[in-house]
Amino acid sequence: MKICILGDGSWGTALALNLHYNQHQVTLWGRSPEHMEAIRRDGENKRFLPGIPVPPEIETTADLPRAVNGCDMLILGTPSQYMRGTLEKLAPHIDCKNQIVVNIAKGIETGSLLRMSELCRAILGNDVRYTVLSGPSHAEEVSKGIPTLVVAASDNLKDAKKVQMAFHNDRFRVYTSKDVVGVELGGALKNVFAIAAGIIDGIGLGDNSKAALMTRGCAELSRLGVKLGGRRQTFSGLGGIGDLIVTCMSRHSRNRYVGEELGKGRKLPEIITSMNNMVAEGVKTCESAKMLAEKVGVETPLVNGVYEVLFNDRPPREIIYELMTRKAKAEL
């Protein structure tokens, strides 16, 4: 297949390597001509995925019309808060009937509260052939060929299977699903809970606390997800608890890192500045998730607690005390 990845970050680059491994014709597109030339020249994405060779067969370009022309599949790798701009650039050049769009960004757009599938349809039209690819999959490990399992979800199961076969191999196993809502929300909200997990690490709490956070986070995710049309069983799968676990536990997680630094007492603007162009999707998603939960009347105490730390500068220990002293209730 001829496949274009729109987004030159670590995840887009890692998936370009996986698709190249499957012998597809792969183009990696980015906004900066200088950066795309640097990847080609250096044989490496030094800014976002240092130390991992990028074969010369993977074309790099900042020319969007040229990149997408004649492609069978377009991979959306732009961070969620910048996705609208990418889609607006893409709209005049996409062939919605013949090109499958695969979203790999995890988030909810601030302000509009749109999931990425909703944003795609708003800009590209209702005919867009949309699939979301998500699951416990850090770019650093995928780029090294470490065994990884993900899920491809689409309203059209035939398209989900086409995405499955495009990516599937002996080190990157892909399952299919029709629950776009559930997989998208799992990928978005796990970043918020990862910030909370990082706060636990930064404060110096223990395994009990983190296990409780992940379990109740999954319950919170399920409540909101089902209310918005997702399937409860999805949140027990790769796109739910699987992605939640890896993001809350991993040293690779940028969202967990933000939380850890907050737990140590650093302020959010300083943390973001120190991350050198790396995006922690959970910061903006937390704001969107809180507003979305309020809109549909779902209780999300963990999301609300993270929001208080991020945007109202509340001390993390104060939030933890409030969570621990909420009214006692049944688990289920």
Where residue 87 sits, what CATH number does that domain have?
Answer: 3.40.50.720
Please, what is the average pLDDT of the chain? 96
Domain that holds residue 107: 2-178
* Closest to 189 (Cα-Cα) out of 306, 95, 77: 306
Mean pLDDT of 131-147: 97
Tally of structural domains, the chain: 2
Q: Does 15 share its domain with 71?
A: yes
Whole-number pLDDT of residue 5? 98
Whole-number pLDDT of residue 164? 98
Report whether pLDDT(114) > 90: yes
Asked if 258 contacts 202 with a C-beta cutoff of 8 angstroms, the reply is no
Q: What is the CATH number of the domain that holds 282?
A: 1.10.1040.10
Whether residue 111 is contained in a domain is answered as yes
**pLDDT tens digits, one per residue of 231-248:** 999 999 999 999 999 999
* Alpha helices per DSSP H over 204-267: 207-227, 243-249, 254-263
Whole-number pLDDT of residue 278? 74
Whether residue 331 is contained in a domain is answered as no
**pLDDT tens digits, one per residue of 53-66:** 999 999 999 999 99
Q: Does 167 share its domain with 100?
A: yes
- Which of 162, 190, 284, 290 is an active site residue? 190
Asked if 83 contacts 54 with a C-beta cutoff of 8 angstroms, the reply is no
Q: Does 7 share its domain with 19?
A: yes
Whole-number pLDDT of residue 332? 85
Query: Is residue 190 among the annotated active site residues?
Result: yes
Whether residue 245 is contained in a domain is answered as yes
Whole-number pLDDT of residue 279? 78
Report whether pLDDT(158) > 80: yes
The two structure tokens encoding residue 174: 């892909």
Q: Does 148 share its domain with 24?
A: yes
Of 124, 144, 178, the residue at which a domain comes to its end is 178
Whether residue 252 is contained in a domain is answered as yes
Whether residue 152 is contained in a domain is answered as yes
Q: Does 209 share its domain with 130?
A: no
Whether residue 51 is contained in a domain is answered as yes
Report whether pLDDT(277) > 80: no
**pLDDT tens digits, one per residue of 209-224:** 999 999 999 999 999 9
* Closest to 79 (Cα-Cα) out of 146, 12, 129: 12
Torsion of Cα atoms, 172 then 250 then 332 then 181, to 10°: -50
Q: Does 77 share its domain with 150?
A: yes
Q: Does 129 share its domain with 112?
A: yes
Q: Does 119 share its domain with 13?
A: yes
Whole-number pLDDT of residue 166? 98
Whether residue 332 is contained in a domain is answered as no
Report whether pLDDT(276) > 80: no
Whole-number pLDDT of residue 55? 98
DSSP 135-197: SS--HHHHTTT--EEEEEE-SSHHHHHHHHHHH-SSSEEEEEES-HHHHHHHHHHHHHHHHHH
Q: Does 120 share its domain with 247?
A: no
**pLDDT tens digits, one per residue of 286-298:** 999 999 999 999 9
Whole-number pLDDT of residue 280? 85
